[in-house]
Structure 1
Amino acid sequence: MSSEIRQLEPKALWNKFADLNAVPRPSKKEERVIKFMKDFGERLGLETIEDEVGNVIIKKPATSGMEERKAIVMQSHLDMVHQKNNDTVFDFDTQGIEMYVDGDWVRANGTTLGADNGLGVATIMAVLESDTIAHPALEALFTIDEETGMTGAKGLQGGLLSGEILLNLDTEEDDEIGVGCAGGIDVTATRSYEQEETPEFKIGYKVTVKGLQGGHSGMQIHEGLGNANKIMNRLLFDGFENFGLRISEIDGGSLRNAIPRESNATVVIDAIHEEAFESEMKDMGNEIKTELKTMEPDLIIEVSRIESPAQIMDLGVQEGLTRAIYAALNGVYRMSADIPDLVETSNNIARVIVKDGKIKIGCLTRSSVESSKWDLANSLRATFELTGCEVELSGDYPGWKPNVNSEILKVMVPLYKKLNDGNEPHVAACHAGLECGILGTNYPDMDMISFGPNIKGAHSPDERAQISSAQKYWNFVLEILQHIPKRS
């Protein structure tokens, strides 16, 4: 499959992407891709550094005639989100991504593609390897663990970089120039509970929610996509009062930055309510599918008889859990009053696990306003604490405040118009967690901008990169490199 990808234009970009996607690179397991990148830089004879947290920095001198331009940093992250369809057999720890061409798009076979942020990484690699692309002094910064903690950006020490302008290649709309982003914080609720032996008069069921699109929990949080954890909770909420329903296990969602696509629950009900329960679940399922049919046409809700589980959770804890998940906000909390159509603050109820006497609920709260971020995080904390959970707020990272006087922005806007028949780019902040805000804490004077090619469905197995857009983006990159301002 990669041979087909390697024939795409621009070949320099797609060949490096194919090389990168052959290397397993899950977040927090980046040892192989770090070695891959270090070997790449050293093979080119360029100064190559691995810092104390695992970021890789490769430095390349300016090409002839570009020595008086400001030094730049080109930055992307090495890790990728690992999601696959339920029926896809794939081991992200050992296998490279299996890609194919679908019309004007590159996709993966039942998994995430890794275009987020692999196309950015491949772009930088292509520039580093080229002996014909004009550019000023260049520092390539490849960060680690962006997707699950921003560990690389947080750990990057001041003084390692001397570039005055940073080009972050992690935006997913080719007509957008990013000048700001949201910060975030992880909200994690946990508690233990007593398990009870399942009474003899109970019968077992497996409840499954699947077929949802999923997607990026920041960029797509406003689109009305279904959240498998909220749907599952809705199905179970009144189950005890109506059918004597008791929960044994729940396993819903996966990563905090992915809108949950699937959830599975093992429950029991009173045997005398078998027919009424199945009828009610069918009716509720149809109602939910009707509500979501525009955005989630492939939603599946299944209820099937199974052998009764040996144990069920304490009833009081069950009732508190279902009420807390119902009350906890999922989706948009506040739209920006200053930037049209920008989500200011949101939450994703990303993970719900109930098993073996333990509950764990994981959320990712995002906001471009710090006070609003903490307001929502504390609202969630209060909701879960009311049901006896311990709540941890962790992984806090800042947003990136827009700089309307950015020098590189003033260069890029007219270049974009020149390349695109006079069309204006969309200059905007985004509701994703880019690394620029964190990098700016140690490099406060660095002028930062973000852009990239069209990537759809990031953080889901529907992730795809547009071939024509990659060509448009590549041409933009080459123009930007040639027009970096001179040093003062």
Structure 2
Amino acid sequence: MNQDIRALEPKAVWNKFADLNAVPRPSKKEERVIAFMKNFGTQLNLETIVDEVGNVIIRKPATSGMEDRKTIVMQSHLDMVHQKNNDTDFDFDTQGIEMLVKGDWVKANGTTLGADNGLGVATIMAVLESTDIAHPAIEALFTIDEETGMTGAMGLKGGLLKGEILLNLDTEEDDEIGVGCAGGVDVTATRDYDLEETPEFKIGFQIKVKGLQGGHSGMQIHEGLGNANKIMNRLLFGGFENFGLRISEIEGGSLRNAIPRESNAVIVIDAIHEEAFKADMEDFISDIKKEFKTMEPDLLIEIKAIDAPSHIMDLGVQEGLTRAIYTAHNGVYRMSADIPNLVETSNNIAKVVVKDGQIKINCLTRSSVESSKWDMANALMSAFELIGCEVEFSGEYPGWTPNMDSDILKVLVPIYKNLNEGAMPHVAACHAGLECGILGQNYPEMDMISFGPTIKGAHSPDERAQISSVQKYWNFVLEILKEIPKA
């Protein structure tokens, strides 16, 4: 399958992408891909550095005639989000990504593709390896752990880079030039609860919510996609009063930056209410599916009879939990008043686990305005503390403030217009978390810009990269390298 990828144009990029995707590279387990990149730079006889946190820096001198241009930093992250369909047998720790060509798109076989940000990495590798591409002096910066905390960017020390311009290759629409992004903070709520023995005359059920699209909790939070944790909570809420519903276990969602696609719960109800419960739930499920029929046509909610579990959660805690999750905001919290159509603040209720006497709820709050970010985070904290949870804020990172007077922006816009028959690029800030804001803390004078090829469905098994867009983007890269201003 991957051989088909190697035949695509531009071959320089797609071949490097295929090489990269043969290396397992989950966030926080980047040892193999760090070694891969270090070997790549060494084999090219280029100065190659691995810093103390694991970022890889490869330096390449300017080509002939370009020595008087400003040094640039080309930057992408090495790690990828690992998500797979339930029926896909795949081990991300040991297997390379299996890729397919579907028309004008490259996708993976039941898993995330790793185009976010693997195509950016592959682009930089192609430039570093080239012998016929004109470019100024380059510092290639490959960061680690972007997807689960941005610890690579946070750990990069000031003074290590000498470049004056940073090209971040992590934007996912080929007509967009990024000049700003949201910051974020993880909000984690935990508490213990007492287990009770399941009373007599209770019968067990397993409830499954699945078939949702999932996706990027920044770039797609405004699209109205279903959140499996919120849907599951609707099914559980109020069930005690009507059917004696008691919760034994819940496991929903996976990664903090992925809109949750699936949730599973084990419950019991009073045996006497079995038929009424089934009928009521059938009607309720029908209503929910009607709500989501446009955005989530493949939504499935299954209820299956099972043996009753031996233990259930304390009733008072159960009632508080379902109310707190109902109260906790999910989705867009505020749109920007200054930038049209930009989500300013949002929250993703990413993961809910209730098991063995412990509750853990993970949220990722994003905002391009610091005060609004903390307003959202404090609202979540309040909802969860009211039911006795301990709430921790962690992984906080800053946004990237837009600079519409950027010198490198003034270079990119006319290049884009010349390559695209006069069409103007969409110059915008995005609601995703890019590393530019963090890098800018230690390199405040560096002029930064972000762009990339079109990638859809990032952070989900539906992730796909557009082949024609990669060619368009590659041409853009080559022209930018030729037009970097003089020092």
Counterparts of 1:165 and 1:422, CA distance in 2: 25
In the other structure, the counterpart of 2:108 is 108
Any residues of structure 2 matched to 1:338-487 within 5 Å, and which? 338-487=338-487
Deviation at 1:280, TM superposition (A): 1.1
Counterparts of 1:200 and 1:45, CA distance in 2: 73
Any residues of structure 2 matched to 1:74-153 within 5 Å, and which? 74-153=74-153
In the other structure, the counterpart of 1:314 is 314
> Residues 89-144 of structure 1, C-alpha deviation per residue, up to 9 Å, x if partnerless?
10000000000100000000000000000000000000000000000000000000
Matched residue type, 2:24: P
> Residues 234-255 of structure 1, C-alpha deviation per residue, up to 9 Å, x if partnerless?
0000110110000000000000
Matched residue type, 1:203: I
Deviation at 1:229, TM superposition (A): 0.0
Counterparts of 1:213 and 1:362, CA distance in 2: 19
In the other structure, the counterpart of 2:185 is 185
Matched residue type, 1:361: I
Deviation at 1:65, TM superposition (A): 0.3
Matched residue type, 2:158: G
Counterparts of 1:153 and 1:472, CA distance in 2: 28
In the other structure, the counterpart of 2:214 is 214
- Number of equivalenced pairs: 487
Matched residue type, 1:76: S
> Residues 279-305 of structure 1, C-alpha deviation per residue, up to 9 Å, x if partnerless?
111111110000000000000000010
Provide the secondary structure at the position in 2 that maps to 1:188. Answer: strand
Q: TM-score, normalised by structure 1?
A: 1.00
Counterparts of 1:460 and 1:15, CA distance in 2: 23
In the other structure, the counterpart of 1:253 is 253
In the other structure, the counterpart of 1:238 is 238
Matched residue type, 2:476: F
Deviation at 1:343, TM superposition (A): 0.1
Counterparts of 1:280 and 1:301, CA distance in 2: 14
Counterparts of 1:284 and 1:18, CA distance in 2: 46
Provide the secondary structure at the position in 2 that maps to 1:67. Answer: coil
> Residues 293-329 of structure 1, C-alpha deviation per residue, up to 9 Å, x if partnerless?
0000000000010000010000000000000000000
Counterparts of 1:257 and 1:280, CA distance in 2: 34
Counterparts of 1:47 and 1:18, CA distance in 2: 24
Counterparts of 1:142 and 1:413, CA distance in 2: 25
Matched residue type, 2:137: A
In the other structure, the counterpart of 1:270 is 270
Provide the secondary structure at the position in 1 that maps to 2:333. Answer: strand
Counterparts of 1:284 and 1:16, CA distance in 2: 49
Counterparts of 2:457 and 2:246, CA distance in 1: 36
Provide the secondary structure at the position in 1 that maps to 2:212. Answer: coil
Matched residue type, 2:46: L
In the other structure, the counterpart of 2:200 is 200
Counterparts of 1:104 and 1:434, CA distance in 2: 27
Counterparts of 1:281 and 1:88, CA distance in 2: 29
Q: CA RMSD in A?
A: 0.3
Counterparts of 1:46 and 1:214, CA distance in 2: 40
Counterparts of 1:279 and 1:264, CA distance in 2: 20
Unaligned runs of 5+ in 1: none
Counterparts of 2:214 and 2:280, CA distance in 1: 26
Counterparts of 1:81 and 1:97, CA distance in 2: 12
Q: Which 4+ residue blocks in structure 1 deviate beyond 6 angstroms?
A: none
> Residues 212-251 of structure 1, C-alpha deviation per residue, up to 9 Å, x if partnerless?
0000000000000000000000000011011000000000
> Residues 146-205 of structure 1, C-alpha deviation per residue, up to 9 Å, x if partnerless?
000000000000011000000000000000000000000000000000000001210000
Provide the secondary structure at the position in 1 that maps to 2:290. Answer: helix
Provide the secondary structure at the position in 2 that maps to 1:391. Answer: strand
Matched, 1:44 2:47: no
Counterparts of 1:284 and 1:94, CA distance in 2: 42
Matched residue type, 2:68: E
Counterparts of 2:101 and 2:167, CA distance in 1: 28
Matched residue type, 2:425: P
Counterparts of 2:169 and 2:302, CA distance in 1: 41
Provide the secondary structure at the position in 1 that maps to 2:49. Answer: strand
> Residues 401-425 of structure 1, C-alpha deviation per residue, up to 9 Å, x if partnerless?
0011101100000000000000000
Counterparts of 1:341 and 1:5, CA distance in 2: 35
> Residues 3-44 of structure 1, C-alpha deviation per residue, up to 9 Å, x if partnerless?
000000000000000000000000000000000000000000
In the other structure, the counterpart of 1:301 is 301
In the other structure, the counterpart of 2:171 is 171
Provide the secondary structure at the position in 2 that maps to 1:471. Answer: helix
Q: TM-score, normalised by structure 2?
A: 1.00
Counterparts of 1:17 and 1:393, CA distance in 2: 36
In the other structure, the counterpart of 2:25 is 25
Counterparts of 2:282 and 2:255, CA distance in 1: 29
Provide the secondary structure at the position in 2 that maps to 1:363. Answer: strand
Counterparts of 1:478 and 1:50, CA distance in 2: 27
Deviation at 1:376, TM superposition (A): 0.4
Provide the secondary structure at the position in 1 that maps to 2:140. Answer: strand
Counterparts of 2:259 and 2:128, CA distance in 1: 35
Unaligned runs of 5+ in 2: none
Provide the secondary structure at the position in 2 that maps to 1:265. Answer: strand
